[in-house]
Amino acid sequence: MAALWQYHKEAMRNFGLTALLAATVMVGCSQQDTDKVSADAKSAAQSAGQTISGVALAGKVETALRLRKDIDASTLHVEAKDGVVTITGTVKSLAEKKAVNEVASSTTGVDKVIDTDVKFVTSVPPK
């Protein structure tokens, strides 16, 4: 969760810097320049919003995985973008891999799950 929070903070910082830059540049510009800067700032804001929503969705899936006793979520990594969740890592059994996919697929906001990089291993090295 710490990585998720750090990613969220970084996205918000980038959004704030973009807005500040846009406001600074707009002083003394022509209307055409102002329109261009406004369009660029709007695009950056939309991108930041998509990043945050992806982080939020990944967080929901990670939380759902951690709540399951039959899944060792500490060996998994979750990313999300536009409703597509990508899970990487290792599981101890094919049943655990199936459970990971079922939990992710049933999470609200998930349209598709990519888990081709979830590997089955007979023993997971200690951390």
Count of Cβ atoms closer than 10 Å to residue 20 Cβ: 11
- Please give the Cα distance from 4 to 8 (Å, whole number): 6
Which residue range(s) make up the domain with 116? 2-120
Number of domains in the chain: 1
What pTM was estimated for this model as a whole?
0.58
pLDDT tens, position by position, 44-99? 555 544 445 778 889 999 999 999 999 999 999 999 988 899 999 999 999 999 99
Q: Which helix (H) or strand (E) holds 79?
A: strand 76-81
pLDDT tens, position by position, 27-52? 555 666 556 655 665 555 555 444 45
First to last CA, the chain: 17
Does residue 125 belong to any structural domain of this protein? no
Q: How far is CA 49 from CA 7, 17, 110, in A?
A: 13, 15, 17
Does residue 96 belong to any structural domain of this protein? yes
